[in-house]
Structure 1
């Protein structure tokens, strides 16, 4: 029983570190998205189609952010499983593979349209779209 408690503390610490890394990655991606989209919009050339380049980092980083959010949710499921089962069982000791919970979290496309990501990236998409419409009219 004492060994299981020790494993419980080690596993939960490891999973918490992974979740922190995922959240940090998400924060960094949001910062890079704003930076690159604004930078591409500010690069004014004679070619007005240059504004369409702003959609590339927006969509790529939206996808990446959704991926990291999905991974974070998988590891939260793993964390909950460890908390509930570690003291009862030695099954999956120090197994950090969270993909066994893949059916318990939303798919990547559903994660992309989650409230937090949709508001953040959708508002940027709206601004870029409005800027594009004004530029081409």
Structure 2
């Protein structure tokens, strides 16, 4: 019986580990997407040279502001990921404490009401801070590139 419990805890711990890694991957991907969109916006907002050698400024790029949408999506996905991870941690505790869990159950849904919801987690410091930072950078790039004109 103890061997089954250890195996069950190992399975749950594997899921928790993968989810923690996936959460970090989402943050990294959000920053990568933001950087790519900033780079694309900067190339579009560059000055153009006419046939007579005169330079004229191109229209300001709104891409940094448009990039806020995927950042918000990644933010929501990260909060959802953390919600599910915490429910798995609660399942882990239930198995560890010998609560009524069917053998080798991986069903986290019965524990989702015992942990903070995704919306609340989205505004926790650990989840919100990287995304708010990226949004501030995107708005600053837009303003710096002449978007306020």
Shared fold per TM-score greater than 0.5:
yes
Q: After superposition, what is the alpha-carbon deviation per residue over 1:70-93, rounded to whole angstroms, capped at 9, x for unaligned?
A: 11100000000100016xx6x411
- Offset, 1:129: 2.0
**RMSD over aligned Cα atoms:** 1.5
Q: Pairwise mapping of residues 16-95 of structure 1 onto structure 2 (< 5 A)?
A: 16-44=13-41, 45=44, 46-47=58-59, 48-85=61-98, 91-95=101-105
Could you state the TM-score of these two structures normalised by the residue count of structure 1? 0.87
| Higher gyration radius (CA) | 2
Could you state the TM-score of these two structures normalised by the residue count of structure 2? 0.81
| Whole-angstrom CA distance in 2 between matches of 1:121 and 1:54 | 12
- Offset, 1:133: 3.1
Count of paired positions: 131
Instruction: Give ranges in structure 1 of 5+ residues lacking alignment.
Output: none
One of 7, 10, 13 as aligned partner of 1:10: 7
Higher helix share: 1
Which moved further from structure 2: 125-134 or 61-70?
A: 125-134
SS in 2 for 1:85: coil
| Whole-angstrom CA distance in 2 between matches of 1:80 and 1:66 | 21
Tell me the equivalent position of 2:54: none
User: Would the aligned equivalents of 2:23 and 2:82 in 1 still touch at CA under 8 Å?
Assistant: yes
Tell me the equivalent position of 1:136: 147
| Whole-angstrom CA distance in 2 between matches of 1:136 and 1:102 | 43
| Whole-angstrom CA distance in 1 between matches of 2:63 and 2:23 | 27
